[in-house]
Each structure stands twice: as C-alpha cells, then as structure tokens.
Amino acid sequence: MPQLRAERAVTTEESTPAAERWRRVFSPLIRAMSESLVEVSTRDGAVRFVAEHGAELFEGAECLVSIVRPSDPTTLVVAAGAGGEWAQGLIGTEWPVEGTLHGRALLSVQAVETTNETTATAAPGITAGEVKTGRLVPLRTGDPLPDRRDALGVIAFWRVGRHSFSEDDRQLIDLFGSLASVIVHRAELVHEAEAVTQRMEATEQEVELLQQAAESLSGTLELDRIFQQTVLSAARIMTPPGGTARRSALLVVSDHKARVVAEHDERGARIGPLQYAIADHAQIGRVVEQRETVASTVDEPGIDDGSLVDMRSLGVTWSAMAPIVSGDQVVAILRVSSYDNDPFTDEHRARLDAIANVAAMAIGNAERYSMARSEAQRLAELENIKSEFLRLASHELRGPLALVRGYLSMFEDGSLPTVAGAARDVLPVVSARLTQMSRLIDDMLETARLEDRRLQLAVRHVDLRDVVHHAVEDIPVVTGVHSIQVEICAEPLPVVADPGRITTIVRNLVDNAIRYSPAGGRIRITAERDSDTAVVAVADEGIGIAADDQHRLFERFGRIVTSENSHISGTGLGLHLSRELARLHNGDITVESEEGHGSTFRLRLPLSAG
C-alpha cells in the first residue's frame, strides 16, 4: 500500500464528494454520447461503450453487459466486459435467464445486489472468480421493440471482496443503468431500422432515404430536431420517384388536443401553429383511439373532420395519418399529404407506419434521456444545497459559541461573580456540551472543505500510540454511566499522518460509541499492530446496528433512525468525515456490529518505515 511522505500536503481530489462525483461521471458520459453517436449506434459498439464507461464508475470494479438473444429470450449472452481480465474473459459466455442472478434482475425489473459469492443463483463463471459483491441492473425499454422485446439485458458491477455499495453508489449505478438502457435501446432501434429498410420492397432510392431517416432520428436526442427530421424524412420517403412532392406534418397529442409542431412542404405552404380538439375531428380521433393508420381524400363524403378542410385550403387532395405510439399512449400523429390524384396504397401505409415506428422509438428515447439528465442534475443540485448548508451553518454557529464559551470561562476563572451550589455543579456539564458542539462545528467545517476540495493534510512521522493517548485524555463522559478502557500495545506504531485529523477520527468514534450506548457500559479503545497495518478499535456495548443498515453508516447525513435511537441527537457527519479522512491517509474504517450487542469500529492505517 502506498505511504504518504512526511510534511506532504494531500488534497481531497481523490475523495470526490457526491455532487462532484455526479458531474464527473455523467458530464463526460453525456459528452461522449454526443461525440460518439455513430459509433454507439451498433449493438457491439453500444455494449462496449456501456461496459467501458461503467467500469470507470468505481475503482476496482468490473462491469459486465449481458444481452438477451432476440432469437432466444431464455438466454443471456455476455456481450461486453471491462475493468479487468475476469470480465473480459467472460465475453461470449451464455447464461440461462431462469435460475441466475442476471435472470432474476431481468425478470423482476429491479436491481439485484448480492454479497454471497457462493449463492446457487450465481451464473457459472461468477463463483469461479474472486468477486464477492455485485449489483445487477436490468436494461429495459419503456416501449417494446418492433419484435416485442422490452427486456434488453443486464448491466452488472462486480467487486472483489464483500464491499457493499453505498446509497450514493446505488443511485449512481441505477441512473447509469437508465442511461445504459437508452444507449442499448437506441442501438437496437438503429438495428431494427436497418432491418426494416432491408425488408421493404421498394426502389433503391426509397431504401436509402428510409435508412437516412433512421440514422438522422437516432443521431439526436433533442425533441425539436427529431420532430423536424421526422417530417422531412416522411415527405422524402413518401414521394414517389418522379412524382409530385409530398407534404408532411407532425401533430403532438396532449390534453385531448393535437397540435401541429412541425411541417415540411416543398411549396412552402404552412398551416401551423394550429391545434385540434380530438373529439371534434373524426379522422384524428380514429387515429388516436383506434391506433390505426387512416387515408382518405380531403373531401371524403361523410367524414366530419375540420383538419381536412385546412388541407383542402392548401390544394391537397389525399391525406394519410399514422399514430406515433410511445409506451401505451399515442403521443403524436404523422400526417403525409399529396397534391395529385394518386391514392395512398397499402404499400404507402406500410412505409408511413415504418417511419412512425422509428419516430416513436426516437421520441421515447429522447424523453427518457431528458428524464435521466434532469434526475442527475437534480441530485447534483441537492448535494450542492447540502454543501452550502454545511458552510453557512458552521460559520454562523462559531460566533455565538465562542461568546458562550467566553462567558463560561469567566465564571470558571472568577472574572464574574462566583456561582455556588447546584449551579456550580452544572458548569462542567455545560463546558462538556460546549466542547461537543465545538467539535460538531469543526466536523461541519471539515466536511465543507472536503466538498470544496480545499482540505489539506499536514502529515509527519508520528507514533499512533501518542495520538490515541492525546485523543482520549480529555474526552468528556457526560452521562456518568460509561467507563473508558484504553489498551495500547507496547511496541511503537509509526505512521505518516496528520495528528490533528487522526485525533478527530478517534474522538468521533468514541463519541459515537458513547451516544449509541445510552444505557452505559464499557467503551474499550485499543491500538495494536496487524502485520504492516496499525489498527485502532473502538468497541461499545450499545444498541448495535442491523446488518441491512450498515452500508448507510458512512454516508453524509447518513443517520440510521430507529425506535431505539430516535431520541439520540446527531447529524450523520462524524462517521462520514472520519472515513473520508482515513482514506486520505491511505487507510479506511470498517465496522462490525450486531443489533442489540454493540459495535466495533476499526481505523486502519499503513505503518511507515520509520
């Protein structure tokens, strides 16, 4: 393990806060998607893109992307792996959907997490490796593909060792899974569009135009551009070779109305912006309610549809409309009209349906992408709000606290009239509480510095035994029901560390032990050597922590509130700050706990040579 050099200042660049982490992960990813739209349009390119970027989310994690075979929905095949030789070696492996963790995630439509590498539901190849912790997220599409598939596959993140994912990790993985679904779905759409073009029995020019439309629609995630590209492609594809140019329009359906949002007409004719009440326009209502493509002359007898009157005013003779369906709703209508007397045939309707299907996929993709991006921005803004609160609260509290401490010291040194009797006995308790509050404010400031990446360590060679002695010598035990037992080994524990920050860690661990053992009991503090590591352990006889809650202990503001501890005050910053400080020293903090039987927290730091 690398060691810190003496007198070296270490920044928090390696300990990115949550808000910075969201920006660091998703900003490059979204930029890479924009720059690589063509490359990730293929199935192979998309899954490689997802696996490579997924492996970058967590240090030491390996990423697998398994895809459902279109020809065999009962089988998953590992299409891409990144992050290490283990993941890459599984590429091409086939697993059954039934009876495997990957299949469970796929069929349950929710993330699956495991820390038991020996589970019978692990796919072959998982148990043979060293990985023990995994989180698997299904890749699904809200809109079924033309071949009726809505389950695309599974993206899985695996770690060596039992190292549970934090809540931030889970949100990051799940949001990345949503983006991965968009990417893979988009590639499937392009693949399907290419298949549609191959199946269409049309002229070489028509096939080329349809392919261009699919590529253009899949090449953007902006709705306005998708609308414009849809009407342009529809007009070109529906225009017969050597025939009169067709006009096209796209109407967005919402609130029982259909509104014209895009038009294309070689003659320059426009009718928008207009909107039609669906209930008052028979042809539009038929498309929306029955989800079928309709075609008629603009003066079809017996049809009460005012939108046809608007078409007639432009000189149009025939008009055809196809529904654009996303999920289970008609979200838009694609309308193509002609200025000649040639009717729309079944072949024309098939072409119009094909364009509408590709447009539906592109529109649904863009909407999901927009939702995922908005969610990422919302989470980042929330983290910024938390950071700003820490900065403001810590600065605003320091002044009043200093004033109170000043008056208290004047009572204690006799500068103010002597306090006698029971009031005098209260002063030590008040002083202890002020010390706790001062340390809380210090924790808030330190956390704010972590968020701003302004925290620096003043490291030097120290004996960890001395630091522990200093940390525990003035810990206030205000309850009167705890006993502090300190056991420090006889041999030196040389480390390269910032003594002040290590003192903060130890005090936070002891304070946490006192808080969460309200009935009292022994607080045992030990410092010893374990191979090339120095270990400081703080054990209590308190209420303990349920196994399912332990992954939340070190999250910022990650208090675990239960009926047994709801009366215990705290901010959820102490353990978060302590672990981040430990990791800045190339160390870590772990916990062992059983509900009702106390907890043991261990700080591990690498021993230095001198």
Per-residue pLDDT tens over the stretch 216-226: 666 677 888 88
- In the sheet that holds 72-82, the strands lie side by side as 94-96, 72-82, 61-69, 151-160, 131-140, 112-114
**What is the Cα–Cα distance from 458 to 10, expressed in whole angstroms?**
8
Q: Quick check: 466 pLDDT over 90?
A: yes
Q: What secondary structure letter does DSSP report for 548?
A: G
Structure tokens at 242: 């050597």
Which range among 218-227, 237-246, 349-358 has the greatest average pLDDT?
349-358
**What is the Cα–Cα distance from 574 to 556, expressed in whole angstroms?**
9
Strand partners, 81: 64
Q: Which fold has domain 18-180?
A: Beta-Lactamase (3.30.450)
Pairing outcome for strands 151-160 and 329-338 = unpaired
**What is the Cα–Cα distance from 237 to 210, expressed in whole angstroms?**
6
Q: Averaged over 29-42, what is the pLDDT?
A: 65
**What is the Cα–Cα distance from 553 to 99, expressed in whole angstroms?**
33
What is the pLDDT at residue 240?
76
Q: Are 262 and 250 in contact (CB under 8 A)?
A: yes
- Judge if the upstream peptide bond of residue 273 is cis by omega within 30 degrees of 0: yes
Q: Quick check: 187 pLDDT over 90?
A: no
Pairing outcome for strands 482-488 and 521-530 = parallel
Which range among 57-61, 169-173, 199-203 has the greatest average pLDDT?
169-173
Structure tokens at 543: 């209420």
Q: Which CATH class is domain 200-367?
A: alpha beta
What is the pLDDT at residue 208?
60
Listed in order, the ranges of the chain carrying CATH 3.30.565.10 are 460-606
What is the pLDDT at residue 378?
76
**What is the Cα–Cα distance from 34 to 31, expressed in whole angstroms?**
5
Q: Quick check: 590 pLDDT over 90?
A: yes
Q: What secondary structure letter does DSSP report for 524?
A: E
Q: How many CA atoms lie within 13 A of 118 on its CB side?
A: 0
What global pTM score does this model have? 0.39
CA distances from 99 to 95, 124, 135, 300, 403 (A): 9, 11, 17, 58, 65
Residue range 540-559, pLDDT digits in tens: 988 888 888 887 788 776 56
To which residue do tokens 């200042």 refer? 9
143-147: list long-range contacts, CB under 8 Å, 24+ apart.
143/325, 143/326, 143/327, 143/360, 143/361, 143/364, 145/185, 145/188, 145/189, 145/192, 145/361, 146/192, 146/196, 146/357, 147/70, 147/192
**What is the Cα–Cα distance from 515 to 536, expressed in whole angstroms?**
19
Q: Which CATH class is domain 460-606?
A: alpha beta
Which range among 274-283, 505-514, 523-532 has the greatest average pLDDT?
523-532
Q: Are 100 and 122 in contact (CB under 8 A)?
A: yes
Q: What secondary structure letter does DSSP report for 246?
A: P
545-551: list long-range contacts, CB under 8 Å, 24+ apart.
545/591, 545/593, 545/595, 545/599, 546/595, 547/594, 547/595, 550/164, 550/591, 550/593, 551/164, 551/165, 551/166, 551/167
Q: Quick check: 100 pLDDT over 70?
A: yes
Q: Averaged over 247-269, what is the pLDDT?
A: 89
Listed in order, the ranges of the chain carrying CATH 3.30.450.40 are 18-180, 200-367
Least confident of 96-110, 210-224, 522-536, 567-581: 210-224
Residue range 376-387, pLDDT digits in tens: 777 766 666 666
Q: Are 450 and 591 in contact (CB under 8 A)?
A: no
What is the pLDDT at residue 420?
63
Q: Quick check: 564 pLDDT over 80?
A: no
Residue range 276-333, pLDDT digits in tens: 888 888 888 889 988 889 888 877 665 556 677 777 778 888 889 999 998 788 999 9
Higher local confidence (pLDDT), 342 or 104: 104
Q: How confident is the model at residue 13 (pLDDT cuts 50, 70, 90)?
A: very low
Least confident of 75-89, 236-250, 370-384: 370-384
**What is the Cα–Cα distance from 481 to 389, expressed in whole angstroms?**
35
Summary count for the chain: helices (H), strands (E):
14, 19
How far is Cα of residue 463 from the mean position of the Cα atoms in its chain?
Answer: 41
What is the pLDDT at residue 2?
32
Q: Quick check: 401 pLDDT over 90?
A: no
Higher local confidence (pLDDT), 516 or 402: 516
Strand partners, 602: 537, 590
How far is Cα of residue 216 from the mean position of the Cα atoms in its chain?
Answer: 29
- The overall average pLDDT reported for the chain is 78
**What is the Cα–Cα distance from 323 to 363, expressed in whole angstroms?**
13
